Structure 1
């Protein structure tokens, strides 16, 4: 048996000074930057949060007040036009069937049509009553006076600024200008003969007259402007006793009963705003806006209408 053969260890030559250096490792470049973290907004302090909330509340209130100021001389006229169109249709039908009122009737019912050519006012419907809500429909007949054309003094109120402002320019009427009024009894004509105001009332003592009354200012009226006219021709007979004058029927009176309705509509507006805010957060933003805008507009309109009833009825 032969002895095992030993294998000599492999001796690796050490690199000499002229041997090439080992390849350097490839430069991998700078390490990738860490992703930026979104800046976290520090929470508002309690005092600052309350200040922001107060700022939003004040801004919202200011927008509502400015909107109300714009509503009175502009958009409120659309409501009056709609009421006039309905009243005109009703009165025309009553004229055709000879059932138009010739005596006392319910508030808001159409009783006459007035034409004042000098002011460009034609076929404007006069309604019964002179409360703030009555005058939102057009000129109003004071319930304790006879109807136009009848024997006696007839008094008509009209707004100066809001809801169509039908009597805004009656102070521009001159002596001799004509006023025509049509009722269920027929057509009557008056001629302007005097002007007056709160401190200087009309002095004409003629038996059969027409008196037009409105506010004295484009701001909140504190007095009245009056125009007197005498009847031309024979008067019609008074068809019945007149109603008693209530406090809300007087010139510059405000309808305090509208306050409770305004409070309810304001609560409704707050509820709609709350629901809209929730819908914007939980639903599609623009879809929520589109769905809520008509409701918010209708509720806000009702708020403005009831707020207007709290102003002087001739405004």
Structure 2
């Protein structure tokens, strides 16, 4: 005989979950009309242009001086070694080569290396010797140009010189001392019949130069013989001239900068933002520096 079994009631099925109401999606930003889009794009373009112009001003007034100091340091060592081995130039030489060292204590200019040539690029390196004149210390008139505002502004205080101030110059032929004795400008050149003299030239303004300031000095002592066959003066060598040849370089470097900016945008969006910026920022900075340097060559060479 089997024990009676009790029937169990069927298990109750769990209630179906009640779906929660969906959260409303944020409204899409209103699409810009054609006119407003053009205004926004123009605003971004104006902001970018203003940033580039401010960067160029900072380059001219601050960073260009560091560039000039770096070249001066290297050129001074080169010229010192050439003096020690008696191979410093005493006549015509290549553009940018160091040809002298000048000291003007009255305006705080000390051991400034003078390079051959007076184009805008030459004067980025320091004071420049005008190629058609004799070297300092030699018989005749030697002419030196120097910037008044940018790239270290070695001749910024030239107008502070007074009659009797000394100018000391060292070349491959030895040391010479000049004594300031005359002043002039672009409209009133210095007229001096001394057998050996020095003429220093810079711009008449630190903002928008329209003329030149000239300071003349006579050699105190016997002049050295001058080598013949001085090269002819080029248009870019003249006072306040611009280096028109830098325009092609500016265009090429600007195109390279635009290409690098486009590559950076692609890398930031499709690769990794931080890695893209870290990888390509040095490239952008170097290209922007090259653009600024070529743009500076289009300014008056004494600026």
Same fold (TM over 0.5): yes
Are 2:236 and 1:248 aligned?
Answer: yes
In the TM superposition, what is the alpha-carbon distance from 1:32 to its structure 2 partner?
A: 5.2
Q: Within 5 A, what are the aligned runs for 1:55-66? A: 55-66=43-54
Bigger Cα displacement from structure 2, 139-148 vs 283-292? 283-292
Query: Which of 221, 227, 249 is the aligned partner of 2:215?
Result: 227
Q: CA RMSD in A?
A: 1.4
Cα distance in 2 for residues equivalent to 1:198 and 1:47: 52
Give CA-to-partner distance per residue, 1:276-305, whole Å, 9 cap, x none: 111111122222222221111100000000
The residue aligned with 2:271 is 283
Cα distance in 1 for residues equivalent to 2:268 and 2:278: 11
The residue aligned with 1:211 is 199
Cα distance in 1 for residues equivalent to 2:88 and 2:31: 70
In the TM superposition, what is the alpha-carbon distance from 1:33 to its structure 2 partner?
A: 5.1
The residue aligned with 2:172 is 184
TM-score (norm 1): 0.88
The residue aligned with 2:182 is 194
In the TM superposition, what is the alpha-carbon distance from 1:190 to its structure 2 partner?
A: 0.3
Structure with greater Cα Rg: 1
Cα distance in 1 for residues equivalent to 2:29 and 2:265: 22
Are 2:29 and 1:41 aligned?
Answer: yes
The residue aligned with 1:13 is none
The residue aligned with 1:300 is 288
Bigger Cα displacement from structure 2, 67-76 vs 275-284? 275-284
Residue 279 of structure 1 aligns to a residue in which SS? helix
TM-score (norm 2): 0.91
Residue 296 of structure 2 aligns to a residue in which SS? helix
The residue aligned with 1:314 is 302
The residue aligned with 2:38 is 50
Give CA-to-partner distance per residue, 1:147-171, whole Å, 9 cap, x none: 0000010000000011110000010
Give CA-to-partner distance per residue, 1:89-123, whole Å, 9 cap, x none: 11011001000000000100000000011111111
The residue aligned with 2:72 is 84
Are the aligned partners of 1:77 and 1:164 in contact in 2 as well (CA < 8 Å)? Answer: yes
Are 2:106 and 1:118 aligned?
Answer: yes
> Gaps (5+ residues) in structure 2?
1-18
The residue aligned with 1:24 is none
Cα distance in 2 for residues equivalent to 1:265 and 1:282: 26
